Structure 1
Amino acid sequence: MQFEIDNKKAIANRGNLFRLKQVMRRAEAGEPVKVGFIGGSITMGCLATEPELCYAYRVYEWWQEKFPKTEVSYINAGIGATTSQFAAARVEKDLLDQKPDVVFVEFSVNDDANEFFMETYESLIRKIYTFDQNTAIIIINCVRYDDGGSAEVWHAKVARYYELPQISMQRSIYPEVAAGRISAEEITADYLHPNDIGHKLVAGVIESFLEEVYTEREQKEAEAEEKAPLTEASYQHAVRYRNDNCDPVITGGWKKDMEKQNAITEVFRYGWTAKEPGSSITFEISGSEIAIQYKKCVKHPAVVAEAVIDGDESQVIKLDANFEETWGDCLFLQTVLRHGKDGKHEVKIRIPVDCGPVAEPFYLASVICSSKQGRA
């Protein structure tokens, strides 16, 4: 089925193409190229019937076809139901350590449209941009097909400030849906995740932009200037603590989850579990931003754990593991300190002494911390 999409409208921001043109010229010269993606469930390929039919793989295939004499590698770091806040903590291990030459970033339907996620998004972008001075970044903005909603407006502020290419489905595919020229049901089963046809449309929009850049790849362009943060960018140096890289103080029945993680999408690995009332686990970490990551369960009743920061019992934070949706257990990230004092903090997580019978133990996936001074 053919759809008429105005791909030109998708270019929300052309940006500075210095790095992207460099990658294309290197690929044309026969140098190996690694194409990386990071995002949520759409990037992961949710609702594509085969991994090779998701938009990310299709875009990777564009690079293979355009540069047939070049070794092109594919890195997909998409994890469903996650935001740029988590991505800022995991991007180094899940993607950047593999040294991608170009990175496509997609979180516009995962991040909420507000200043908080603008800051976490900028932090992620800065982490990628500064990790390797040659890495090109392309921002991808997907959209909800029922109402056209996304965090694109907030992500656009970051794209324009850093002069990054920004490709919008809200400006290209969604207008056709809103006008009735494309039925949403033809391209998505849930008005959010593209089906095979929808993934092909998204890939086509991105590939159209890449084709345009390819035609002008030899045209010289000055590199964008290095810039100070637009927001506080407090999550740029975020670090994730799990049982494979830290040793918290444990009392009671907390147990390490030592099951091997075979893929990054196996999100419930290397954490800790507990259900025994009164059990506690205490972390000593440094930073100004702290978040606790745990499993929200579809099986009820689940544990409602407690977090205490720096021993302040007047500000006990509830960590409610009961998930009110039904699609499956959720890896949930709860901020417990934002723009706090940048220094040492004690984070205690405990099972309340009056905790009754529960369907399954509380699963603590990680504690994430970020310092403005560098590694927490």
Structure 2
Amino acid sequence: MIGNSGDAELNQGTHAPRDPVQVGVSLAEAEFDYNSPNYLDMIDRSLLSAGNNVRLKRVIEKAKRGEPVVLAFIGGSITHGAGAAPIHLQSYAYHTFKHFQKMFAPLDSNTVQLIKAGVGGTPSQLGVIRYERDVLRNGSVQPDIVVIEFAVNDADDETRGNCYESLVLKALASDNKPAVILLFSVFKNDWNLQDRLAPVGFHYDLPMVSMKDALVEQFRKTKHEGNVITKEQYFHDIYHPTNVGHRIMADALANLFQVTDRSPMNQEENELSRAPMIGNDYVNVQLMDRENGEQIARIEPGGFCHTDTELQMAEMDDHAYATPLFPNNWMYVPDDTAEHLGFKLYLRCSRLILIFKDSDSDIFGTAHIKVDGELVKQADPHEVNWTHCHAMLLISNQEAAEHVIDIEMAPGHEDKQFTILGFGYVE
């Protein structure tokens, strides 16, 4: 057990929050006891599975030797740090990074690096597209540990777990063989998607940490019966942890590190050649945006010739400043001089995901999306109604084919704006 160590979305468990989170510090933070026997027992219960420990033990030994180690985190708003203040120093990702550094790296060393890539209100359907850019940094970074946290975001994954398993396999398949850890956060109503997603982890024998397993049972108890923390102490709102909650999540991950360090190494590494549990159709998905689009496909932007600069932002890594997401976009602004109002994409692919901007501004309107001349989707930026990256599945076929995608403003919305942030495509 670990001792003195240092987005989410909900609407009856199905949809993203309607407003961006406001952060604050719980009054209980200063008085919370992180060393009581009941607390340590609660942390122990978070270990859903230690999994095959070969990869993680190799990373721990690497850190002990003083070699550089990269810890990466990808997920929704909880991974972003929502509910924590200040967000860049109190998120569970930052605390976990500091725990790992203190536990295994030489004193006064800077050999451990943090990559934090959480984006509020988004599922693994977007995460698998972002992985190359936001975690691998377009090939410039090779994480040694990848923590994946989408258990309260993936109700909106249209692929029903295919993108989640594809993301897990994409991370596992990296040449440097990183340790992949699945983290299951929980909502205030005790809900998450652990029942859908944990079988993926068991299938590949991965380490898994569950805040639901740690917290929910003790939430129902009185102090006399063994309650450690109340929901009011743990949750900043109905979605996100307080500073105390983020610290507890980090302690749960540190407990996994400690258990792994003290255990003998497994004889063999994870078996990754087995058939997928749900699907692996998005392992090779690639991001296409305005920066690289012309190298990949034929694009006629029409009226979508502007660039939107009012974008969803996220504090990445340990940065206090926020980074705009999908800055290389195509924005439609009404313009009578445009020769073609619609956006047209000619692309050979088997699967295609549109990423567009949600907004609460009345100047944004609904777009119609046609695939090969047939209207397949309507993209309404007010469905979520805050500035937010929205992933929408357009094509899902086993075989690749040439496709024509037309995006144009819906009738009656021609005088509104719309932003295409990018696409995720599988060749």
Instruction: Calculate the TM-score normalised by the size of structure 1.
Output: 0.89
1:64 corresponds, among 82, 101, 123, to: 101
- The structural deviation recorded for 1:305 is 0.7
Distance in 2 of aligned mates of 1:115 and 1:252: 29
Partner of 1:283: 345
- Check 1:341–1:137 CA distance in 2 against 1; reply closer, same or farther (3 A cut): same
- Mapping 1:1-376, distance limit 5 Å: 1-2=32-33, 4-5=38-39, 6-50=42-86, 51-69=88-106, 71-96=111-136, 97=139, 98-112=141-155, 116-146=159-189, 148-179=190-221, 181=227, 182-216=229-263, 219-227=265-273, 228-247=275-294, 248-250=298-300, 252-257=302-307, 265-276=323-334, 279-300=341-362, 302-312=364-374, 315-325=375-385, 328-339=386-397, 341-352=399-410, 354-358=412-416, 361-370=417-426, 376=427
Q: Deviations over 1:262-306 (max 9, x none)?
A: 976412511111143861111122322212111111123631111
Q: Retained in 1: the 8 A contact 2:285–2:424?
A: yes
| Secondary structure of the structure 2 residue equivalent to 1:66 | helix
2:16 maps to what in 1? none
For 1:365 and 1:113, locate their aligned partners in 2 and report how far apart those are by CA, in whole Å.
18
**How far did residue 2 of structure 1 move?**
2.2
Residue 116 to residue 214, structure 1, CA distance change in 2 (3 Å): same
Where 1:145 maps in the other structure, the secondary structure is: coil
Equivalent pair of 1:106/1:139 in contact (CA under 8 Å): yes
* Offset of residue 80 of structure 1: 1.2
Further displaced range: 91-100 or 268-277: 268-277
SS of alignment partner, residue 289 of structure 1? strand
Q: Which amino acid aligns with 1:159?
A: G
- 1:273, 1:82 → 2: CA distance? 21
Instruction: Kindly provide the amino acid, as one letter, of the partner of residue 225 in structure 1.
Output: E
Distance 1:116 1:353 in 2: 29
Within 2, Cα distance between the matches of 1:86 and 1:17?
28
Contact 1:256 1:270 in 2 (8 A): no
3-state secondary structure, aligned to 2:254: helix
Give the CA deviation at 1:115. Answer: 8.4
Q: Describe the shift of the 1:308–1:142 C-alpha distance in structure 2 as closer, same or farther (beyond 3 A).
A: same
User: Is the 8 Å Cα contact of residues 80 and 314 (structure 2) preserved in structure 1?
Assistant: no
Looking at structure 2, the residues matched to 262 and 300 of structure 1 have their Cα atoms a distance apart, in angstroms, of 23
SS across alignment from 1:149: coil
Contact 1:114 1:154 survives alignment (8 Å): no
Partner of residue 22, structure 2: none
Question: Does structure 2 conserve the Cα–Cα contact (< 8 Å) formed by 1:40 and 1:83?
Answer: yes
Q: Indicate how the Cα distance of structure 1 residues 294 and 203 shifts in structure 2: closer, same or farther if over 3 A, else same.
A: same
C-alpha distance in 2 between matches for 1:280 and 1:99: 40
Q: 1:341 offset after TM fit, Å? A: 4.0
Aligned partner of residue 343 in structure 1, secondary structure: strand
String of CA shifts for 1:208-234, please: whole Å, max 9, x gaps: 121111122x54531122223223311
2:281 alignment partner, SS class: coil
Give me the whole-angstrom Cα distance separating, in 2, the residues matched to 1:10 and 1:356.
51
Give distance in 2, aligned partners of 1:151 and 1:112: 7
Distance in 2 (alpha carbons) for counterparts of 1:60 and 1:13: 21
**Cα pair 1:288 1:342 within 8 Å, conserved:** yes
Alpha-carbon shift at residue 85 of structure 1 (Å): 1.0
1:114 Cα deviation after fit: 7.8
Task: Name the CA shift for 1:57/1:311 in 2 (closer, same or farther; >3 Å).
Answer: same
5+ residue gaps, structure 1: 371-375
Shift of 1:30: 1.8
Normalised to the residue count of structure 2, the TM-score between the two structures is 0.79
- CA deviation after TM superposition for structure 1 residue 95, in Å: 1.1
Q: Do the aligned residues in 1 keep the contact of 2:63 with 2:105 (CA within 8 Å)? A: no
Cα gap change, 1:135 to 1:192, in 2 (>3 Å)? same
SS in 1 for 2:391: strand
3-state SS of 2:154 partner: coil
Which piece of structure 1 moves more, 338-347 or 227-236? 338-347
Contact kept, 8 Å, 2:77 with 2:120, in 1: the verdict is yes
Regions of 4+ moved over 4 Å: 258-265
* Rounded Cα–Cα distance in structure 1 between residues aligned with 2:149 and 2:365: 32
Q: For the Cα contact (< 8 Å) 2:76–2:122, is it kept in 1? A: yes
Q: CA deviation at 1:89?
A: 1.1
Q: How many residues align?
A: 363
Aligned to 1:373: none
Which ranges in structure 2 are unaligned for 5 or more consecutive residues?
Answer: 1-31, 317-322
